[in-house]
Each structure stands twice: as structure tokens, then as C-alpha cells.
Structure 1
Amino acid sequence: MSEGGSIVMIGSIAGFIGTAGYGVYGASKAAVRSYSRTWTRELSGKGIRVNTLSPGPIDTPMFDDVSDEVRKTLTALIPLGRLGKPEEVAAAAFFLASDESSYITGAELCIDGGMSQV
């Protein structure tokens, strides 16, 4: 990667909220957070920024086969009262990759409607 680049890691709020039955998934996403923080230090001399984007439940095709009960249960845990949209995650990733975030590195941006804050 050239000097001044930007790396956007894709994590998940599962990396820090703890979800029964998803221990391996959560651990792998926690590892993404750790890599991001480590690489922030290691790559700073090259002016390369490293940030993590951690979505919560996003209304993607993965949710097409989810029951209404599961969808309602998840939605009830989200302060904004809805699943996220893929476009919202894409906009955040674009921001972190752009020069608009030139003074942001080592950060984790949660796109989760407030779910991880409750």
C-alpha cells in the first residue's frame, strides 16, 4: 500500500457485545479490532490509516429467510427501532476510506442504530 493510504476493516458489534451461540464469530470479529489497533501503530510511519467499521444487524439478503419473530426480537434491541441498510454501511466505509477522515485512525465506528450502547 502506498504512503497515505487507508484501510477499512470490517468487524461487527458481535466482537464486543457477546452473543450466545456465536462465540467463534464474536472472537473472530474481536481479532479484527485488535489487528486494526495494532496496524494503526505499525503503519502510522507510512501515513496509512487503519479503522474498523462494526455493523450491527443490517437488512441484507441474509435476513430474507429470518422469521418475523427473530426480526422483531432483534429490532427491539435497537434504539432506532429498525435494521440498518446496506447503503448506510457503505456510506460509513466510504467516509473512513476518504480524505474526509484524514485525522481518524485506530477508531471503530459502530453502524448499529445504538444497539451496542444499550
Structure 2
Amino acid sequence: MTTKAVRSLARTWAGELKGRGIRVNVISPGSIETAAMSTVAPEFREQLISAIPLGRLGTSEEIAAAALFFASADASFITGANLVVDGGSGQV
């Protein structure tokens, strides 16, 4: 599913569920350092990293931190949002 589709889904569900006090937010991760990433060719890995403004792959802990933020009281006034956690790739 594309980032636009995921964002649209979150916005639609947020509107549908607002009366029940349910907030809906989504996270769109970029390239993340996982066991599967160790199986890709080094050239492809370097190509991925070169496209990330922060110059590295993300970590699963960084994605978990974004999820914890949405689950926390700090995000109590946020709904229908898409938090892009991609090291800036989508911004350039």
C-alpha cells in the first residue's frame, strides 16, 4: 500500500470512529535495518542509504518509538495523522 493510500485510510477511519473516542494514526517507515536487509546486495544497500538524507537506515527501535508516541498521552489530540519515519527520504 502506498503512503498516500495509508494516509487516506487513517483519515477516513479517524472520521468514522471519532464519535466513539477512537483515534486513528499511522506510521510510514522508510528503509529499516532488519535481518532481511542483510540479504540484499551491498550495492543495493548503499544505493538505499545514499537516498536517505540522514545517511543511514532506520532501526526497529525508532519505529517502535513512533508507535509509543502515538499511544502516549502526548498524542491525545492527534488523529488521522501519518507519521513518516524515513530519515527524510520523502522530503527530498
Q: In which range does the TM-score fall when normalised by the shorter chain?
A: over 0.9
Shift in Å, 1:73: 0.2
TM-score (norm 1): 0.73
The aligned residue for residue 43 of structure 2 is: 69
Describe how 1:1-118 pairs up with structure 2 within 5 A.
15-16=2-3, 30-118=4-92
Instruction: State the one-letter code of the partner of 1:113.
Output: G
Q: Which runs of 5+ in 2 are unaligned?
A: none
In 2, distance between residues paired with 1:73 and 1:67? 10
In 2, distance between residues paired with 1:35 and 1:97? 18
Aligned length: 92
Q: Which runs of 5+ in 1 are unaligned?
A: 1-10, 17-29
4+ residue segments displaced more than 6 Å: none
In 1, distance between residues paired with 2:14 and 2:60? 26
* Aligned-residue CA RMSD (Å): 1.3
**Structure in which a larger fraction of residues adopt helix:** 2
The percentage of counterpart residues that share the same residue type is 55
In 2, distance between residues paired with 1:108 and 1:93? 11
